[in-house]
Amino acid sequence: MALLVQKFGGTSVGSVERIKAVAERISRCRDEGNDVVVVVSAMGHTTDELTGLAAAITDTPPQREMDMLLASGEQVSIALLAMALNQRGVAAVSMTGPQVGIVTESTHGRARILDIRTDRIRGHLADGRVVVVAGFQGTSSGAGGVAEITTLGRGGSDTSAVALAAALNADACEIYTDVPGVLSTDPRKVVDAQLMDEISCDEMLELASLGASVLHPRAVEIARNYGVLMVVRSSWSEAPGTRLTSRRGRVLNQAGLELGSPVDGVEQMEHQAVIALSHIPDQPGIAARLFETLSGAGINVDLIIQSTHDGTSNDITFTVAETDLDAARRVSQTVLDNLGGELAAEGGMTKLSISGAGIMGRPGIAAGLFHCLSQQGINLRLIATSEVKVSCVIDADAGRKALQAVQEAFDVDDAQVVLNSDLNSSNEPEVRGVALDRDQAQLSVRHVPDRPGTAAALCSALAERGISLDAIVQSERQHGDGSRDISFILRRDDRSLADVALAPLLAQWPGAALEEGEAIARVSAVGAGMPATPGTAGRMFRALAGAGINIALIATSEIRTSCVVAEQDGVAALQAVHAGFGLGGQEQRTARGSGSPLDS
């Protein structure tokens, strides 16, 4: 007999018929002899509708009242599902998050789970009941110890389910939704998206944080950290869906289920070189030509960063192994000969990375890394950020000092340090999936001083307000006064708060000013085999060039490559990149089976 946690999303319980169908499914699972804890979302679009009601009253609803409002959605569906189960003769009891004892931080609207009391649930299971728990909500002890309702953030029922599975030490956590599992991309935007049998938690974390809304990134983080067996499958069929794979999990964190440092490793790659091309024309196809020529010459490029200046020309900076420095310089020069622009190349670099899960979701972590390096007087040549890794390229001379400082800052012992890892050991696909995020905005800070600590100060100021940034790009190009520009992207929701957060810094930096970017979309490719496969970036840029799409910004990390494009090009860019990597297949519509909401 197994203990299963099964989560049903909004569409899966979107109507009375659907609730009855879910009850029937749970009943069969009970008949097979399993203990079942069910987590449900609010019915259909309830959460959106409730948000709309609030917006019709005020632009600035108190977060406490928003939580009070939104938590009501899940309370409806748990009661109805428990009724449907009892009606079928399956003993069931519904419980809100506070009734279970899902204890969270007090941050309304995006609370993290600290602890889940399991005694009441276990009692009901022992008495033979199915326990139906409201997803997305918990309780915190507010001011004066009065219990407050909190919510975990949009899409947070996935996180409730996996956290319950971890706390109960369940045999599996099954996420039932309106697609057959995790697909190579969003089937609503690309009709021939393909189902995956399995995906690693690291890849899924990247995809989820880059816009693949099928899973809440924090749910994947918990599954990875605690080794929860997690499956995503359709609530319309019996097909097995997609299994998430992870290494062995750790024991439950006493400091708080979702707390603790997300950093569990430090990596250092020595003998790196940086090639910087500047003042190259801002036209589609140039990045494609450059990186195709490099891979044609057998050169494996690691990090790539591109930013646009004054809307007319681009800087592209990338890193290669030092042994490839001369060849990369020669090849880049031949490309530049036809275009114009300047080239600088420099060896003697080291890449230092922190790795883990949920790094970008906690903005203080990247800021902490940059701060730690700036305290040592170390200048950052290149920065690459992602949900599972943040890397900095620095002078090799500073490598040893930097490693020691970072290990201390993040409490990482020697056994968790990887030096000069071998890239050739992977059998993973270069690209497993692609994702689109249209909720991002681009910002540039012009004329920031060129000295250690600038990126750290910027990140810290934003982190203090809970703002994460992605794709932080420092220009190679310097202004006449020696200052540089830093561009980054952030969630559009955080855009106005960023003004407030950055104002004190801008006042300290003479001549510095914020510049608004255009409306953007970010398209990203993710694959564990990417670092070991030469030419991945070139193929992605070629796919975009082939669709006539200009790339405004490029940022890579170890297992992902992201391109920022104009917002109106977003879906076309996603389709082009999906096709460019050969991820499409026969249309999924027929394979998905009848009755699926995507068919209608």
Which residues of the chain form contacts with ligand ASP (CB under 6 A)?
Answer: 9-10, 41-42, 47, 73, 135-136, 154-158
453 binds ligand ADP (CB under 6 A): no
Given a contact cutoff of 8 angstroms between Cβ atoms, the answer to whether 527 and 432 are in contact is yes
Beta strand 35-40 with 3-8 is: parallel
| Interacting positions 332-391 with ligand ADP (CB under 6 A) | none
Distance CA 261, CA 336 (A): 44
Residue number with CB closer to ligand ASP (42 or 303): 42
CB of 88 to ligand ADP, least distance (A): 22
Using CB under 6 A, count the residues that bind ligand ADP: 19
Q: How far is the CB of 436 from ligand ADP (least distance, A)?
A: 8
In the list Mg ion, ligand ASP, ligand ADP, none, the entry touching 580 (Cβ below 5 to 8 angstroms by class) is none
In the chain, what are the helix, strand and coil shares in percent, each to the nearest 5? 35, 30, 35
Which residues 7-46 are close enough to bind ligand ADP by CB under 6 A? Answer: 9-12, 41
Contacts of 270 (CB under 8 A, 6+ apart): 350, 396, 399, 419, 420
Cβ closest to ligand ASP, residue 151 vs residue 317: 151
Looking at the DSSP assignment, which residues form a beta bridge with residue 573? none
Q: How far apart are CA 329 and CA 324, in angstroms?
A: 8
Q: Could you tell me the strand order of the sheet in which 147-151 lies?
A: 113-116, 102-104, 137-141, 147-151
Contact 550, 314 (CB under 8 A): no
Position 476 contacts ligand ADP (CB under 6 A):
no
Determine how many CB atoms are found less than 10 A away from the CB of residue 572.
17
Rounded to whole angstroms, the Cα distance separating 35 from 37 reads 7
Q: Cite the beta strand spans of 201-255 per DSSP E.
A: 230-234, 242-245
We find the least distance from the C-beta atom of residue 355 to ligand ASP, in angstroms, to be 28
- Residue pair 474/486 in contact (Cβ under 8 Å)? The answer is yes
Provide the CA 255 distance to its chain's centre, in angstroms.
23
Q: Which residues pair with 441 in a beta bridge?
A: 490, 519
Q: Is 237 in the site for ligand ADP (CB under 6 A)?
A: no
Q: Which of residues 46-85 bind ligand ADP (CB under 6 A)?
A: none
Site for Mg ion in 7-26 (CB under 5 A): 9
Nearer to Mg ion among residue 195 and residue 412 (C-beta): 195
**DSSP letter (8 states) at residue 188:** T
Candidate segments 182-190, 287-295, 413-421, 543-551, binder of ligand ADP by CB under 6 A: 182-190
CB of 188 to ligand ADP, least distance (A): 4
CB of 358 to ligand ADP, least distance (A): 19
Q: Is residue 133 part of the contact set for ligand ADP (CB under 6 A)?
A: no
Q: How far is the CB of 9 from Mg ion (least distance, A)?
A: 5
Interface residue with ligand ADP, options 22, 183, 223, 382 (CB under 6 A): 183
Return the number of the residue (156 or 187) whose C-beta is nearest ligand ASP: 156
Question: Binder to ligand ADP among 46, 47, 151, 177 (CB under 6 A)?
Answer: 177
Output the smallest distance, CB 187 to ligand ADP, in A: 6
Provide, rounded to whole angstroms, the least separation between the CB of residue 473 and ligand ASP.
31
- Which is nearer to ligand ADP, 183 or 409 (by Cβ)? 183
Please report whether residue 429 would count as binding ligand ADP according to CB under 6 A: no
Q: Which does 42 bind (CB under 5 to 8 A by kind): ligand ADP, Mg ion, ligand ASP, none?
A: ligand ASP
Binding to Mg ion (CB under 5 A): which residues in 134-163?
A: 155
Q: Looking only at residues 202 through 221 of this chain, which bind ligand ADP when binding is defined by CB under 6 A?
A: 212-214
Distance CA 338, CA 315 (A): 16
Distance in Å from the first CA to the final CA of the chain: 37
Q: Pick from Mg ion, ligand ADP, ligand ASP, none: which does 136 bind, CB < 5 to 8 A by kind?
A: ligand ASP
Nearer to ligand ASP, 10 or 241 (CB): 10
Integer Cα distance of 354 and 367 in angstroms: 12
Closest C-alpha among 492, 452, 456, 451 to residue 472? 456
Dihedral, 11, 17, 21, 23 alpha carbons, nearest 10: 100
Phi/psi-derived region of residue 212, left when phi > 0, alpha when psi is between -120 and 50, beta in every other case: beta
Residue pointed to by tokens 């599972």: 388
CB closest to ligand ADP, residue no = 9
596 binding ligand ADP? (CB under 6 A): no
d(CA 269, CA 412): 17
The half-sphere exposure of 561 on its side-chain side, counting CA atoms within 13 A, is: 33
Work out whether strand 382-385 and strand 172-177 pair parallel, antiparallel, or are unpaired: unpaired
183 interacts with, out of Mg ion, ligand ADP, ligand ASP, none, CB within 5 to 8 A per kind? ligand ADP
Residues that bind Mg ion (CB under 5 A): 9, 155
Residues that bind ligand ADP (CB under 6 A): 9-12, 41, 155, 177-179, 182-183, 185-188, 212-214, 433
